[in-house]
Amino acid sequence: MIRVAIINDTRPTNHYGCMLVMQNLTNLLTERNVEVLWTWPVGIDWRKHKNKIKKQPKVDAIIVNGEGTIHHSAERKHARALSEFAEFALNELDTPSYLINATLYKNDAALYGRLKAYKAIYVRDRESLVELESFGLQGQYVPDLTFAKAQSYQYKPLKKGCMIDTALKSEIPSLKKYCRTHGFDFRSMVVARPSNANFFKSPRPFVKNVFKWLTSDHKISSQPAEFINYLCNYELIITGRYHTVTMCLKNKIPFVAIESNTPKISFILQDALGNTSRVTSFGALDSIDLDQYKSFTKDEIQTLTGFIDRAEKDINTMLDSLINKILNRSELKKD
């Protein structure tokens, strides 16, 4: 049996999209008789805990979950941390690393120099591949893991519309005001749990998070299936969340998207639909005609169906390829 570890385990965030990515990844690995021996959580800089990582059980390979983290590396330490992991694993653990499910955007040359230590790189949109190749690195494009083949959901819209929040916290008050004005429901993609924040690092967010958990979110499931079923109840979803967009695409739920802290939503829509006509801005939200977005056109359905079919196949091919690479390396070491 192949044994692996996963770096950047995003489940502790209680973010529905991150939970679904990890759920699909671990399920796909289990189906292939691959055991995940340990994971390293998102938000904890591995560079400060090298000795702890060295004491973890020996694995055949390490999979690094890129998610949306690797962008603007000059300002973002988490982007730099993920880029540096492969070299550490190779030199200190004698273990190969594979980067998957990554968005790459506006990173400096130094970061791409460090990415060379990865044995394979898989990016989740074509624009990320363009940036990767512009720095002389090879990679492969495979859509986000939320597109993996999984259970199906029934779209039965009974309600008018829902606003799913954004990663840009400064915009949330205006989105809630929009909902009150237009009679939309509002929901966050992150479920409040006491573990979501650290009191000593961020006292105020911790208190707000615990209050929300006590007053409402303790009744809400953190399972992605519950959230997708919730989305299926609405004629239209408006969201600034990348993974709400991918869930809507996967389940053909009509939506309007608001761009976030990178163009990653535009990137996925260009790949999935061939255009970015469903993307708007915070400022333009009040002036658009929502009725034009409440259904998919025939061309959109045809393009999207083809994209979903290819995405499911490409994700399976990626995992099969990774396993073959790991097996081949293991055989070479035996020789």
Would the CA dihedral through 16, 21, 27, 33 be positive or negative?
negative
Tell me the domain boundaries of the chain. Answer: 2-148+310-334, 159-295
Is the domain covering 2-148+310-334 a CATH 3.90.550.10 domain? no
CA–CA separation, 57 vs 44, rounded Å? 19
- Enter the pTM of the model: 0.94
Task: Write the CB contacts of 323 (distance below 8 Å, at least 6 apart in sequence).
Answer: 2, 32, 34
* CA proximity to 82, closest of 66, 68, 98, 96: 66
Fold (topology level) of 159-295: Rossmann fold (3.40.50)
Per-residue pLDDT of 4-52, as tens digits, reads 999 999 999 999 999 999 999 999 999 999 999 999 999 899 999 999 9
Over residues 288-318, the pLDDT tens digits come to 999 999 999 999 999 999 999 999 999 999 9
Comparing 2-148+310-334 with 159-295, is the CATH topology the same?
A: yes
